[in-house]
Amino acid sequence: MKAMILGLLGALMATGATAASRSFQDWTVVCDNARECSAFGFSEDSFGDRPFLHVRRSAAADAAPVIRLVLVGEAGAQAPWAVRVDGKAVPGLAPKAEGDADVVLTPAQTTALLAAIGNGQRLSLAPGRSDVLLTGAAAALRWMDDQQRRAGTVTALVAKGAKPASTVPAPPPVPLVRPGPVVSQANLPDKAPPGMRSRLGEDCDAQQWQDFSPIVARLSPGVILYGELCYLGAYNEIYAFMLADEQGGHIRRAQIPNLDGSATHLLMNVSFDAETQTLSNFEKGRGIADCGGVNSWIWDGKAFRISDQIEMPACRGLSAEDWPVLFRSRRR
């Protein structure tokens, strides 16, 4: 079961040429298919709410980086913030907040902090609270420069050079995804057609089939989607998806695309919205759901297409609301 979950996570989070994620010691960077990037610096403790630093930058040549500092959850002295790198105060960086806080720095503060963290080891935000670790920060930001095609330009965060901002290429367009026509869900079968189980074979644990109702939805006239529970873990339910015609014939595996061009028919923790033709899932990397991915695919009338994905590959205490975008699309 564990090996299967890890394999699914690896396949579903696979990345293409313009969407990628990578970790550098205590830092993780995620860049989406429009070359917008987010870099995260974490604290030492990887459980529960802990301080973190988030550097976000869009791909436009003139886009400035934005830093968000988050101090939440820990018990400790409710003292004013005192932002320090390796014990030294950062000029101009004293947000007027006490206790828990979530602060977006000004452009001047962002510039000052970026200059300070490059060769630092620890960023402290308040007495009695955990530090944000800076090991890997310089490598993470350098990789972010490279992903955004800024290396060697005056716009780079770390990999600075003499090339003007005009040499940074424009961000690539995001794909257009159009859902297919909404179809009636009347008179759907209440169970999978005969012969479907045998088509899945070792992909599914037959004991699971008896206790859970399948997901059944009409995608298009003559195309029925069936989702059958294959494995039930402590915090993940893995479904296998098949397609059939209205009479339960022409059974085949659904082709749900990954970013690397491959496809799968197995998804974790799923739902399907017939009104929007959207199949969604939430891949939990571990029980407290602080890593993994949230993904959606739209049926365009003929096939599933990737719509949106957010990802947090590092299990470091961040809830899904703070995870960055890995893939985005536009709809009409």
- Segment 188-231, tens digit of pLDDT: 998 888 877 777 767 677 666 566 778 999 999 999 999 988 88
142-179 burial by CB neighbour count: b if 16+ within 10 A, else e?
bbbbebbbbbbbebbbbbeeeeeeeebeebeeeeebeb
Residue 3 lies in a domain: no
In this structure, the strands spanning 325-327 and 330-331 are unpaired
163, 181: one domain: no
Res. 66: pLDDT tops 60: yes
Does residue 281 contact residue 267 with C-beta atoms inside 8 Å?
A: yes
Same domain for 140 and 181? no
Please check whether residue 236 is in contact with residue 269, taking contact to mean a CB–CB distance below 8 angstroms: yes
Same domain, 188 and 155: no
Residue 2 within a domain: no
Residue 37's pLDDT is: 98
Q: What is the extent of the structural domain holding 304?
A: 176-331
- 10, part of any domain: no
Q: Looking at residue 128, what is its pLDDT?
A: 76
Structure tokens that stand for 88 in this block: 């030294």
Least confident residue range of 97-106, 125-134, 143-152: 97-106
Residue that finishes a domain, picked among 167, 199, 222: 167
Predicted confidence (pLDDT) per residue in 257-290, tens digit: 999 899 999 999 999 999 999 999 999 998 889 9
Q: 139 and 188 in one domain?
A: no
Residue 117: which CATH number? 2.60.40
Same-domain status, 87 and 221: no
The answer to whether residue 322 sits within a structural domain is yes
Q: Are 110 and 65 in contact (CB under 8 A)?
A: yes
- Of 148, 167, 186, the residue at which a domain comes to its end is 167
First to last CA, the chain: 40
- Mean pLDDT of the 169-175 span: 95
27 and 91 both lie in a single domain: yes
pLDDT at 17: 43
Regarding whether 120 and 196 lie in a shared domain, the answer is: no
Count of structural domains within the chain = 2
- Alpha helix (H) ranges present in 73-157? 107-117, 137-147
Q: What is the mean pLDDT of residues 241-256?
A: 94
- Is there a domain that residue 304 lies in? yes
253 vs 230: CA distance, rounded Å: 14
Q: Is the same domain home to 215 and 150?
A: no
Percentage, residues of the chain above pLDDT 70: 87
Q: Are residues 153 and 227 in the same domain?
A: no
Q: Is residue 180 part of a domain?
A: yes
**What is the mean pLDDT of the segment spanning 141-160?**
97
Residues 238, 117 within the same domain: no
What pTM does this model have? Answer: 0.88
> What residues are paired with 279 via a beta bridge?
272, 297
Of 119, 137, 167, which marks where a domain is finished? 167
Whether 324 and 30 have beta carbons less than 8 Å apart is answered as: yes
Among 58, 26, 43, 122, smallest CA distance to 324 is for: 58
pLDDT band for 154, please (50, 70, 90 cuts): very high
Instruction: Give a yes or no: residue 98 inside a domain.
Output: yes
Please report whether residue 6 resides in a domain: no
Evaluate if residue 15 carries a pLDDT over 50.
no
